[in-house]
Each structure stands twice: as structure tokens, then as C-alpha cells.
Amino acid sequence: MRAILTKPARSFGILGIILIAANGMIGTGIFALPGKLDAAVGSFAPLLLIMAGLGMACIALSFGDCARHFDSSGGPLLYVATAFGPLPGFVIGWLAYVARVASIAANATILATTVAVFYPLAGETLGRSLLIIILFGSLMALNIVGVRRALAVLGGITVLKVAPLLIVAIAALLLIGGGTAPVIPQLTAVESVALVALYAFTAFETATVPAGEARDPRRTIPIALVGTVLVITLLYALVQWAYGGAGLANSETPLVDLARHVGGPAAAVAMAVTVIISIIGNQASALLANSRLTVGMAEQGMIPARFAGISPRFGTPVFSIMFFGLSAMVLALSGTFVFLAVVSSLARLFAYLGCIFAAPRLDRHFGTSRAWPRRLLFPFAGAALCIWAMFQTKPDEWASLGLLALAGAILYFLSRWETRWQKSPPPPTV
């Protein structure tokens, strides 16, 4: 392992971990999901979200069981590398990194499209480009000057995007009611949207990546991950229940329509603004957490040590932040992110399975133990959910994932070769 001369500051506690996990989960999904679920499974939709959330909580529990052994950055990369070796760890970390870069690049274009509703200039090439540059430039600067400032902004964003959801949902339930009792739909109807419902809960794992900058991460991360998934599950179910009770038709902007139904045009505009705030919060969370993946790779000697360099002034990994932010900005500006985005969900499932299988090996490695439900029942449920979701994907997505994994493996071996070459003694002089 390469020595890192400067350690990152331990800048945040359990509240910071919750904010990162919550903003990673609450992106654009919940604002578009209720209409699709209601059209497919009707009154069963809130229960389907609860089932998906409980399944994701099982996976989050395995992440927490891995996290309790570590206090450095890396998340799934670190867990899998320790359990199965550096190459599997690097491939998992690399796929998660590329997938997240592509994901926030895609969200940036959605942000531009939403802003264009209010300012048509944002829908044109120049305006769209300026908006994307300002967005990523601001987020990079905010992360560089300090994690505490970034988390303070993230805390404000969380309130601004969760409060309108709660207010509209509760108002709809009080004024309209919750609709009919749940009716179990046909299995084919559930299968048609179950994967979409499941993906609405992903990205909680981003909170494990910057553990090297958290206070007491071994204790706080396991509690924060599972707790956040369960609370957001209840929020999603409440919103879905309210939408179903309103009896609205399927829509691309279901929550904006629900807000209009409850509070008129002003409420609809407020919900549209909430969508913009939610995307910005999702971007901020992704940049804060996932830029630290390359820190973990560098600390493990998998990529150049410069990625793990910490600014003496700000106590943050400036180079890793800039690399992540600029990569996402370029993809968002060029539009070439589509190829990467199609495999982002599949890559996450590999990270989930990797951590589920890593947990028992880490128990043996560190001499720890877990009660049998945490050791057998919950991991089995989480693994079954991941494997089922993988079978819902398409062959071209697997092909794309394989190419990305191969590219990562080539980079890994090139980095290892460079390290050996630098350490090898010079040839004898004659």
C-alpha cells in the first residue's frame, strides 16, 4: 500500500452520512415513478415500494456489516479488495465509479431540460452548456473548500426537496383520501415495474465511499445506511399512496400533476422547482462521495498516488474531486454518456453482490461474528433480489459491462506494471 503523507480531515458524523445516502437515493426517480407504478399495479403500488425498500435494506445491512471493519475511504472497492483480492476490488470500484459519472452526467441534462421550462435559453445549446459548466464548477469548488460546507448545503437541499413531498402527500391524503384497499395484481404486472421500483432505492451505498473523512465510521455508517433506507421507504410509500388516492392518469410529471390537483398552479410550480433542487442535491451527494473512490484506489496502489493527495489547506482530495467533476461535465456536454449509462444499474448490482459475499469473509478475516439472521437470512434475501434483477437486463447491457470491466482491468495491470518498473533497480553500469 502506498504511503499517504496527509490524512483527510474527519469532518462529518452520522448526520453527514445520512445526508449523503438520502440525497444519493432521492434523485429524479420518485418524481417520475408514481404514475408508472399506479398504471401497472394500481392500489398495490405502495406495498410494492415497501417490499422493494425492505429488500434494499437487506443489502444495506450487508454494506453496514462490511463498513464496521474499516475507517478509510473506498466503500465497495475496499471491502471486496480486502475479501477477495485487489483485482476484483478494483473492477467493482471501477465499474461503480464509471456508472456514477455517467449517471450524474445524465441527470445534468435532465436538469437543463427542467430549467428550460422556466428559462427557454437553457434548452438551447449555448444555454445548456453554460448551465452544466456552472453546475459542475460550483459543486467542485464547494467540495474543494471543505466537506463541512458541502454538507451544510446538502442539508439545506434535503429539507427543500423532502418537505414539499411530505406536504403535498399529506395534503392529498387529508383532502382526497387514500383510495381503495390494496388489490394483489397479476405477477406479470408486478414484474413489469418491480425493477424500476427497486432502482429508485439505489445509491445509498455512496455514503460508504468517503468513510476516511467521517468520524467513527465503523459505528455510524451501519446505523445510517439501514435507517436511511427504511425512512425513505416510508416516504416513497406515502407519496405513492397519495398519488393513487388522487386517481390521476399516468403522467411523465406525476408529482407536479398531484401538486396542481391539490394546490393549483402555484403548487405545481413549487413542485417543479423541487425537482430541480432534488437533482442538484443528487449531483452534490454524488460528487462529494464518489470522487473519493479514486482516493481508495490510490491508497490501495491501483492507480497513481496523486489521486489520494490531500490539500494541506482544505483537507480534501482536490485532484480526485476535479477528475470526477470534469469527467462528468465533459460527458454531459458531449452527450456520449448514453453508452455508459445503460450499464450503471447492472454495475451497481455487482457491487451489491460483492459486498454481500464479502461480509462473511471479512468476519473470518477480522475475527468477528453476527447473529444468524444477519449472517444468513438477510444476505440471502439481498442476494436473491440482486440475481433476480440481473436476469431482467438485456444482452447488450451485459456486453457493455464486460467491455468496461475489461478497460478497468487493463488500467489496473498498467498501473501495477508501472509501479513495479519504478521500484525495480537500475541496470548495472559497465
Per-residue model confidence as pLDDT tens digits over 262-303: 999 999 889 888 888 888 888 888 888 888 888 878 877 787
Q: Is residue 419 part of a domain?
A: no
Give DSSP secondary structure letters for 34-92: HHHHHHHHGGGHHHHHHHHHHHHHHHHHHHHHHHTT--SS-THHHHHHHHH-HHHHHHH
Tally of CB atoms within 10 A around 293: 28
Q: Is residue 214 part of a domain?
A: yes
Q: Is residue 422 part of a domain?
A: no
Q: Is residue 120 part of a domain?
A: yes
Q: Look at residue 291 and give its three-state secondary structure.
A: coil
Bridge partners (DSSP) listed for residue 214: 12
- Is the pLDDT score of 340 beyond 70? no
Q: Look at residue 214 and give its three-state secondary structure.
A: strand
Average pLDDT for 246-259: 82
Q: Look at residue 12 and give its three-state secondary structure.
A: strand
Per-residue confidence (pLDDT) for residue 421, from 0 to 100: 67
State if pTM tops 0.95.
no
Q: Is residue 230 part of a domain?
A: yes
Q: Is residue 420 part of a domain?
A: no
> The domain containing residue 311 runs over which residues?
14-413
- Domain harbouring 372, CATH code: 1.20.1740.10
d(CA 279, CA 272): 11
Q: Is residue 327 part of a domain?
A: yes
If you average pLDDT over every residue of the chain, what do you get?
83
**Number of domains observed in the structure of the chain:** 1
pLDDT tens track for 341-366: 556 778 888 889 999 999 999 999 99
Binning the chain into helix, strand and coil, the percentages to the nearest 5 are 80, 0, 20
Helices (H), 176-216: 187-199
Q: Is residue 174 part of a domain?
A: yes
